[in-house]
């Protein structure tokens, strides 16, 4: 009887620290994620400000309009993706293909309509010249943010490890340096 009680107590004392440790690691992980998202938002804002050469006044007016535009654009794309997610075009029936095509055209029309509407709104915040280069700047910012996200995944903060080839694909087995 005594050995069962001793075994049970030992087991409890071994499991409790493990459970406590796992709960502690989850909380900082969530806060770390939030910190990374906030950092990316700041980087995004800084990139747009720099690439569009926005003054403080322009930036103050630009970002609320632009963020609203991005949110509506994202919503339209998400709606399309949710409807057709996991469906391979080559596996669609003729009727489904027609519906897909109609939805894709509707999405492009929505994108164009949003661009037209928000271009007019943006004219109150920034010059038309900056609106004209906005699509190019958008792509550049997205690419830079993707690089930032790739850099954040699975790598501790700080300088890159020795021998790291920044911006280059990793060399796999059997691939040699030229």
Answer yes or no: is pLDDT of 98 > 70: yes
Q: How confident is the model at residue 36 (pLDDT cuts 50, 70, 90)?
A: confident
Model confidence pLDDT, tens digit, residues 116-159: 999 999 999 999 999 999 999 999 999 998 888 887 665 555 55
- Check: pTM over 0.85? Answer yes or no: no
Read off the pLDDT band of 3 (50, 70, 90): low
How big is the chain by its Cα radius of gyration, in Å?
A: 25
> What integer pLDDT is reported at residue 155 of this predicted model?
56
Residue boundaries of the structural domains of the chain: 15-151
CA dist., res. 83 & res. 10, Å (int): 53
The dihedrals phi and psi of 103, each to the nearest 5 degrees, come to -65, -40
Read off the pLDDT of each residue in 49-71 and give the average, rounded to a whole number: 95
């Amino acid at each position: 009887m005594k050995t069962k009680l001793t075994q049970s107590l030992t087991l409890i004392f071994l499991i409790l620290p493990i459970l406590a440790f796992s709960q502690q690691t989850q909380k900082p992980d969530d806060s770390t994620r939030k910190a990374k998202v906030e950092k990316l938002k700041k980087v995004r804002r800084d990139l747009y400000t720099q690439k569009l050469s926005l003054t403080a006044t322009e930036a103050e007016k630009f970002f609320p309009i632009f963020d609203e535009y991005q949110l509506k654009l994202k919503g339209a794309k998400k709606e399309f993706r949710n409807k057709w997610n996991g469906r391979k075009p080559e596996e669609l029936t003729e009727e489904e293909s027609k519906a897909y095509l109609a939805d894709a055209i509707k999405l492009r029309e929505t994108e164009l309509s949003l661009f037209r509407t928000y271009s007019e709104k943006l004219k109150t915040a920034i010059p038309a010249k900056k609106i004209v280069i906005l699509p190019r700047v958008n792509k550049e910012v997205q690419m830079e943010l993707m690089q930032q996200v790739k850099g954040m995944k699975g790598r501790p903060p700080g300088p890159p490890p020795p021998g790291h080839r920044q911006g280059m694909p990793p060399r796999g087995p059997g691939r040699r340096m030229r």
